[in-house]
Amino acid sequence: MRLSMRNLRVLCLLLLLPFWGIAMARAHAPLKPTAKPTAATVVAVKPVTPPVVSLPGLAWIEFPQVILNHWWVAPHPQDVHWLQIRPKDGDSRYHVLVIISKESSSYSLALNTVLDVFSQQGISAEFAVINIDDHEALLNSAITYAEAQGMNLVVSVGSESAGYLSKSYQHGKIPVVTCINKDPVLLGQIQDYAGGHDRNIAYTSLNVPLPLYLSYLRTLRPQLRAVGLMYDKNHKQVMATEVNPILKALDAEGIRVVDVAVDGAEKADEQLAKRIPQAIKKLRLIDNQLDNTLFWMTSSTAVFSNLKTVNAYSETIPVVASIPNACVGGEDSAVLGIGIDRRSNAHQAALYAIQILTEATPPGKFEVGIVTPPDIAINFSVARRIGLRIPFRFFENASYIYDYSGRVVRDAGVRVTY
Amino acid sequence: MAITLSSRLILNSPILLIELFTIVLLGYISYGEVDTQYSHFVLGKMEAQAETIRTSLDPYLLAAIPIEQFSGFNTQAKTLFDSDADIVALRVVNQAGVSVFAKELPNATKMPFLTLTEDNTKESAVRYLESDASYRVVMVLNNKFGLVGQIEIETSKQAVTRVIDERFRQIVLWSVVLFCFFFAFVMLFDFLSESRPNLAERQKQIFNGAYFVSFALIVTVMVVAVVGIYNTGATAKAKALADSMAQRISAVLELNIDLQDISGINEAFRNYQSHHADISSLALITQEHRVLFSTTFEAIGKPYQIPADSYEYSVALSSQNNNGFYLSVTIPVEIVRSAILAQAKQFMVLLIACGLLSWVFLEASGALLSQLKRRTRSTDVASTEDQILNGLKLIKPAYFLIVFTSAMPMSFLPHLAKDMAGVVGGSYATATLPFTIYYFVFAAVLIPAGRFAASSNLKQMMSLGFITELVGLICIAFGGGYWLLTLGRIFSGFGQGVFLIGLNSYTLSITPKEMRTLGNTVKVNGRNAALISGTSIGALLYTYMNYQSLFLVASLINLIGMIYLLRLVPTVDEVCNIADVERSDKPSKIEKNSNIRHDLLVVLRDPEFLRTLWLVGIMGKIGVAGVVMFAIPLILTERGVHSADIGLVLMVFYIASIVVTHYASVVVDRRGASSAVLFLSTLVGGVGMLLMGITGIREWNYPDTIPPGVSLIASGAVQFNHWLTSSNLPSASYSLLVIGIILTGIANGLLSAPIMTHIDKTPVAQHLGNKAVAAVYLFLERAGHMVGPMVISGLLAFAYNTSLGITLFGIVTILFGLIFLFTSTLRQQRQISSVSAA
């Protein structure tokens, strides 16, 4: 038989027939119910009361008058352990859940900063604030409540809540912004600093990138040879995000490290008093004159809450802290604090939050928010005592400066006159 | 009969007009250059002032406080406005573009601004803008979280020009005085020379001398005034820079912090110096005049001394304990010197251009005077030769002017054509059309014009050339579009062609056989002088005026040329009647033109003629029309080279060409080595174009769709340029390009006369006669002009619009030259004859 064009067409149709049958069958098959309810169904069954909180509450949060001028702050009508914050001028367009990890003055500052940025930018939002006091179950309840209420955004304050959300809510329905948390990459919460991931969380970090930090230390001590590293070895997050990376980085740079480690806050004072002189002996073996040596104080609370002891024993070796808060007025202070101030980090988080709310930017698009240049605090009283000259670049970039008498003369960048 | 004053005035008008033209041109170009250079000082000063405001805002930026909360604006603005009367507006604008703080004077204008340049390498990105009425500097404000706003400072252009105008008023006064002296001198000399023949004989040299002395004097006056203007600018900039740095240091003292407790101040000074390249030194000085910190290590701790040859400005630092520290900023006098040197380059170009202009017109002026004097003295009878010479001297300025106007846009026309072609959706190829069509019309009009010349009034014919050229210029001046530009070039090509034939016929008509060389000299010298002068003056003017204004100026000069032709150039009959020229040997135009067709068919059968035409002649013309006239101005404009410098480059080309033409003719005539000289021309020209092309190829990321050999050349060019960059030779790339241009000019000089000698020696020339073959050759050679821009633009497109296309053409030129060398029968004949002679 000759294969004519007509025969060829018939053959093609016969071959295609079974595929057409399968496609039609699939098209008319009944729909299976989805395992996860849609947003519409959740909203339809929303609970009327927030989860009951029998834990510490939020009475410790202080709101300065400048915030209260713009915001109305009150306990939730159904549960006093929740705070409701609404703008004074007009209705709220967005609803934000703020999850605070635990009681901390830093978190109080962070919340105030977020409110301040929102009011500066004219973003009309209502905040529901809860303190989970490091209870994951409570965080989950709060999230369920937020989803039920159809809230637009979750802001986590503190490393703990950021950790829980990274673990269980990375693909959650409501976008999340983290605030006042340690480096999420070093903690394994996310792979890298660049944006473009598929998670529904926008991260920020309190840690200054190590190469940048080392460049600051090199400016201070161009021939840096030895570092006395002060830390609390029981503080897992500090160990993961600061101590271990610092040891690795300094080793790569050929800088010797002498440990000044404490075991928790209770014995810290006593241990520092004993271990700092021991460390100085070892440091002298590396750098006899101690001209190219410094103490690096990590953000371990156990260490920086004992500044008096640190100062008493550190002789003329400059103490540089990873957090600006460790450089304070008076004599009991680190000479320099180089790090990201809590307020700066909260400011960054607030900007991410606003962009997510107003421009519907997917949280995964943001790179890890690290504020650069870092905040710098200088105590000239300590500097003069130990004979340290402060680099002009540090002076120009410093947000906090304390003069020879220990008085603050520049506060959050603004000159203070007496 | 005595010469009346008005006649004397008219007869001396060419030299007086040239003097006036030179003064006006010098003044105009100097003003434009000073305006440009002084604006750099002003913009630098404004940038430093913006830095001062930013330093005040720094604490707010550091703390991420909204700039709206900045409380010191009024104080800062008052200080700034009090210290600088030229500022008309100061604003701090937020991210949303809303002006949060502003202080504006009533004379601040609301005109649209255009960005001049941007600098994103500095700590805060800076943009420099200008409107018709103001300069504006915009400094971007960033805090830790990104962009938060910008500072805007505006200075009135009126205030800037006021400084320049004050000085230029003196220049105008001096210029008037100088012109009056020159005028008086010319008239007095003319009067005295009437009774002293020995003076009259030296008139040309003396007028030339007077012209150059006046040129030198006016340039001196201008340089003195310009130095004063730049001094003012440099001092104002030094003050602003000192204020800005002083504010940063004062921040330490105001907190009562001892400067000895701060390290890195010397480094901060040096960093500031690196961002402001004009600063030669920066020093913090104690009350006892000792240097505490400085950009120069050796000066620290020693008594302060102002560096030699510097402008200094010092400012006291504010502090709590009034310690008497002050900050000193110095700017080297060198920056003023280099600005003057940039201007000196222009003066030099103008000296050559105006010198040529005066040379042409002084000859004409002399001819006019001698004519009139002879008329007034019935006893004084002019010799035949004198009359012919006078006729030639008087026609030369007319030819000069028509070529001058055509050459004025040469430096920017390719780029203008490309831009206009871009608007109508065209490319390089479309941009070549106005050039190709110009050469085509020019060539096409030669034969019919020749016929017309045989039967018409030659002055009228040359006037027709002026009129059509004028129409062409006006089309472009008032057109502003690609098609009108093309139409304008058609008219120009027609005008130039008609004028050239008219001139040719005129010189043939007034010169006897034995004086024909003089006629040719008028053409060659007039054309070369006009090309050099027109290209360079046009390029200089284009720096300070738009193309439409320049075409209008060209139109005006063209009109003056036409009036000159009609009023002052004698007709053929006037010259011939007086000179009684034997005209019997002149060829009949109709006969000549009808012969061309026949001659064309004959010469095309001569292989040596064809070899010379195709391998050397047409290639040389493609090189001139396509590379030098079309591609190089285009490429240089795209590389950011100023129009004035492009004009200079073209001027160098012409000068090299003219000088070499002179010597090459001598060598070829004496030694008869025309083949070797022509090969040398292709070799030198090829190398020149190769160099010009290579210097533009800094990277090569194009797909390998072109032949591997070409890619290899491109890679080699990239390597060469990298080596050149790493060698740190100043302006190495630009210097090589200029060398390439000079080599191409030399090649053109080696080609022009020797190729005619070579053609003369071809068998067909022996058979048909030298003139006939030369005429056919000159006609066919124009094909190279016509296709030049098209061929080169095709090669540029082939090489992904890079200058590699020029390199490829250079290589092909060398290859063609080698083929010519080894196949030329004349060379072989010469070798055979040499062997026989031996």
Instruction: Give the tens place of pLDDT for each residue, B113-127.
Output: 887 787 777 677 889
Q: Which residues of B touch A398 (CB under 8 A)?
A: 62
Q: What pLDDT score does B669 carry?
A: 67
Q: What pLDDT score does B4 carry?
A: 74
Instruction: Give the tens place of pLDDT for each residue, A218-271.
Output: 989 999 999 999 999 999 889 999 999 999 999 998 999 999 999 988 889 999
- Answer whether A403 sits within 8 Å of B261, measured CB to CB: no
Together in a domain, B618 and B565:
no
Coil, strand or helix: which one is B706?
Answer: coil
Position of tokens 């020209």?
B685
Together in a domain, B492 and B624:
no
CB of A176 within 8 A of CB of A197? no
- For chain B, the domain total comes to 3
Q: pLDDT tier at B742 (50, 70, 90 boundaries)?
A: very high
Closest Cβ–Cβ partner in B144, B254, B260 for A373 = B144
Domain for residue B782, yes or no? Answer: yes
The rounded distance, in Å, linking the Cα atoms of A205 and A184 is 7
| Interface membership of B590 toward A (CB under 8 Å) | no
Q: How far is A284 from chain B (nearest CA, A)?
A: 25
- Pick from B319, B346, B373: which residue ends a domain? B346
**Side chain identity at B275, as an amino acid letter?**
H
Selection from A7-11, A413-417, B573-577 with the highest mean pLDDT: A413-417
The rounded distance, in Å, linking the Cα atoms of B380 and B372 is 11
Beta bridge partners of B303: B290
Together in a domain, B256 and B125:
yes
Together in a domain, B8 and B113:
yes
| Alpha carbon separation from A407 to A342, B258, B508 (Å, rounded) | 21, 15, 100
The rounded distance, in Å, linking the Cα atoms of A334 and A327 is 5
Domain for residue B196, yes or no? Answer: no
Query: Is the N-terminal amide bond of B332 cis, ω within 30° of 0?
Result: no
Q: pLDDT tier at A188 (50, 70, 90 boundaries)?
A: confident
Closest Cβ–Cβ partner in A371, A392, A401 for B268 = A392
Together in a domain, B575 and B602:
no
The rounded distance, in Å, linking the Cα atoms of B324 and A94 is 57
Q: Say if residue A383's pLDDT is above 60.
A: yes
Its pTM stands at 0.65
Neighbouring residues of B585: CB distance < 8 A, sequence distance ≥ 6: B512, B513
Instruction: Give the tens place of pLDDT for each residue, A357-367.
Output: 999 999 999 99
Instruction: Give the tens place of pLDDT for each residue, A14-32.
Output: 444 444 444 433 333 333 3
Q: What pLDDT score does B377 carry?
A: 58
Q: Say if residue B101's pLDDT is above 80.
A: yes
Domain for residue B368, yes or no? Answer: no
Q: What pLDDT score does B429 carry?
A: 62
CB of B630 within 8 A of CB of B799? no
Domain for residue B678, yes or no? Answer: yes
Q: What pLDDT score does A165 carry?
A: 94
Q: pLDDT tier at B744 (50, 70, 90 boundaries)?
A: very high
Share of chain B above pLDDT 90, in %: 16
Question: Which of B267, B257, B375, B362 lies closest to B320 in space, CA to CA?
Answer: B257
The rounded distance, in Å, linking the Cα atoms of A167 and B142 is 35
Query: Is the N-terminal amide bond of B448 cis, ω within 30° of 0?
Result: no
Q: Say if residue B582's pLDDT is above 50.
A: no
Q: What pLDDT score does A24 carry?
A: 39
Together in a domain, B136 and B265:
yes
Lowest-pLDDT range, B237-246, B486-495, B739-748?
Answer: B237-246
Give burial (CB, 10 Å; 0-12/13-18/19+) of B508: buried
- Pick from B552, B586, B620: which residue ends a domain? B586
- Answer whether B255 sits within 8 Å of A372, measured CB to CB: no
Together in a domain, B578 and B639:
no
Q: pLDDT tier at A327 (50, 70, 90 boundaries)?
A: very high
Q: What's the distance, Cα to Cα, between the start and end of chain A in Å?
A: 110
Q: How far is A250 from chain B (nearest CA, A)?
A: 24
Q: Say if residue B48's pLDDT is above 80.
A: yes
Lowest-pLDDT range, A35-44, B307-316, B682-691?
Answer: A35-44
Q: Say if residue B832's pLDDT is above 50.
A: no
- Answer whether A373 sits within 8 Å of B262, measured CB to CB: no
Question: Which of B448, B575, B444 lies closest to B506 in space, CA to CA?
Answer: B575
Q: What pLDDT score does B2 carry?
A: 60
| Interface membership of A379 toward B (CB under 8 Å) | no
Together in a domain, B283 and B387:
no
Mean pLDDT across A98-104: 91
Q: Which of B249, B252, B261 would best serve as a mutation to test chain A binding (most A beta carbons within 10 A)?
A: B261
Q: What pLDDT score does B662 carry?
A: 73
Q: What pLDDT score does B262 carry?
A: 94
Q: pLDDT tier at A317 (50, 70, 90 boundaries)?
A: very high
Together in a domain, B626 and B534:
no
- Answer whether A390 sits within 8 Å of B261, measured CB to CB: yes
Q: What domains sit in chain A, N to C, each tagged with a CATH number?
A: 65-205+344-365 (3.40.50.2300), 210-340+373-415 (3.40.50.2300)
Together in a domain, B522 and B631:
no
Instruction: Tell which wins on pLDDT, B731 or B751.
Output: B751
Coil, strand or helix: which one is A292?
Answer: coil
Q: Say if residue B222's pLDDT is above 90.
A: no
CB of B193 within 8 A of CB of B200? yes
Q: Say if residue A135's pLDDT is above 60.
A: yes
Q: pLDDT tier at B3 (50, 70, 90 boundaries)?
A: low
- Answer whether B265 sits within 8 Å of A392, measured CB to CB: yes
Q: Say if residue A195's pLDDT is above 60.
A: yes
The rounded distance, in Å, linking the Cα atoms of A209 and A203 is 15
Q: Which domain holds residue B769?
A: 597-838
Domain for residue B50, yes or no? Answer: yes
Coil, strand or helix: which one is B402?
Answer: helix
Domain for residue B303, yes or no? Answer: yes
Q: Nearest residue of B to residue A407 by CA position?
A: B255
Q: Which residues of A touch B255 (CB under 8 A)?
A: 401, 403, 409-410, 415
Question: Please, where are the H alpha helices in A254-399?
Answer: 268-286, 301-304, 307-313, 342-359, 380-386, 392-397
Q: Say if residue A318's pLDDT is above 90.
A: yes
The rounded distance, in Å, linking the Cα atoms of B7 and B13 is 10
Together in a domain, B479 and B534:
yes
Question: Which of B265, B289, B241, B334 lies closest to B52 in space, CA to CA?
Answer: B241
Share of chain B above pLDDT 70, in %: 89
Two tokens, residue A162 = 């950021």
- Pick from B322, B346, B370: which residue ends a domain? B346
| Interface membership of B123 toward A (CB under 8 Å) | no
Q: Say if residue B517's pLDDT is above 80.
A: no
* CATH code assigned at B161: 3.30.450.20
Coil, strand or helix: which one is A409?
Answer: strand
b/e code A110-139 from CB counts within 10 Å (16+ = b) = bbbbbbbbbbbeebebbbbbbbbbebeebb
Mean pLDDT across A278-300: 94
Question: Please, where are the H alpha helices in B117-202?
Answer: 157-195, 197-201
* CATH code assigned at B725: 1.20.1250.20
The rounded distance, in Å, linking the Cα atoms of A206 and A182 is 5
**Side chain identity at B544, as an amino acid letter?**
Y
DSSP run (H or E) holding A408: strand A408-411
Domain for residue B772, yes or no? Answer: yes
Domain for residue B220, yes or no? Answer: no
Beta bridge partners of B315: B327
Two tokens, residue B630 = 């079309």
Instruction: Give the tens place of pLDDT for each residue, B179-196.
Output: 999 999 988 888 887 777
| Interface membership of B147 toward A (CB under 8 Å) | no
CB of A238 within 8 A of CB of A298? yes
For B238, half-sphere exposure in the C-beta direction (CA atoms, 13 angstrom radius) is: 26
Mean pLDDT across B480-502: 89
Together in a domain, B723 and B829:
yes
Q: How far is A183 from chain B (nearest CA, A)?
A: 18
Q: Which residues of A touch B262 (CB under 8 A)?
A: 389-392, 395
Maximum alpha-carbon separation in chain B: 104
For chain A, what is the radius of gyration of the CA atoms? 28
Q: Would you list the DSSP string of A53-105? A: --S--STT----HHHHTTEEEEE-SS-TTSEEEEESSS--SEEEEEEE-S--H
